[in-house]
Chain A
Amino acid sequence: MAAPRTTSEDISEETIVGPAIAIRGRIDGEEDLRVEGRIEGSIALTETLYVEPSGVVIAEVEARDVVVSGIIIGDVTAVNSVTLNKGAKLIGNIRSPRLIIADGASFRGDVAMDGEDVLPPARERTRATSTVPRAAIGSRGAAVASPSRGRSTVSGSYEARRPAAPAAPAARAASPAPASPAARPARDVAPPARPSASRADDDDVTVVIKQHSALRKGELPPDEDDDGSGVPRAKKSARIPARGRRKAGRR
């Protein structure tokens, strides 16, 4: 009579879900749970969840520690640590202050270690890298119109592309006439409308704006072509040539 009871109570410190067992639903507990079979639903433990190599857990998991050698599909929240051993497969998000992933483990999902948001800084980095090429291109244009270069260093690609614009107002303040003819041979896009406009200061401003809107749309690479170094640069900057072709076609 007592034989089955004694054997079971020897093991009673640990709950085992055997390889031929499937549980569908919710499991709560305050002791270790060793899964060799299959569990679907949710698991909430105050101790350690072991998912053995034959174990499959398709569930939201909360535990103090989670040690995975089998498969978990679902979000895992651990108070202490998550360990993915060799052969483990986990698809889901992990929130745990400690995460150990061994060689040979497979994992797909987000990781959040307490107190840190890993994702937002990563996104900012990608944005920063994407803006760098624009700024570099703009600084080449700034080299042509040197006087305003100090402003272009403030930030952003727009500032970097505008350097010639402050240069023109400066020239306008001194003498409007010399500024616009000097700019046009190099960069003028639509010559027929502009010679008359250049006589008045206000019109001169509009001319400058149009010119530099043209610059934004990709006039810089042609200028660099004039310098003789434009071909490799045009290949480097993928965005500028695509826009510049329109202007080149108008010319």
Chain B
Amino acid sequence: MANTVIGSTIVVDGEISGDEDLIILGTVKGQISLRENIVVERDGVVEANVETATITVHGSVTGDIHATDRAELRADCRVVGDIHAPRILIADGASFKGNVDMDG
């Protein structure tokens, strides 16, 4: 229960910030600033710039991703935007369009 969950029918239009894990099954537009982990689930849609420690994408992300630790693009995900992260994993079947910067 410690996790924050954005449910599948929820639309957040604005800014999310905080210090705990975030699981997105719904839609988030705007800005996300976390110091923990983000999981964008299969039906999750993020149209936002994302700052976080780690992000795992099963769904769709449109926007720049800044991860201080790791960015994982899983199979069937769709990501459009630049990714800045020291570790980037892109699985087979992932769709990605944008710049990759692994220099931190």
Contact = CB atoms under 8 A, between A and B. Distances in A.
B49 interface: no
B92 interface: no
Interface bin, chain A: 20 to 34
Contacts of B5: 8, 11-12, 14-16
Given A8-B25, A21-B22, A28-B11, A16 B4 contact: yes
B42 interface: yes
B53 interface: no
A117 interface: no
A26 B4 contact: no
Contacts of A22: 15-18
Contacts of A177: none
Contacts of A30: 9
Interface in B1-30: 1-23, 25-26, 30
Given A14-B5, A15-B26, A29-B9, A5 B58 contact: yes
B95 interface: no
Q: Which 7 A-B pairs have the closest CB atoms?
A: A25-B14, A21-B18, A15-B7, A29-B10, A18-B4, A30-B9, A20-B19
Interface of A: 1, 4-5, 8-9, 11-33, 37, 41
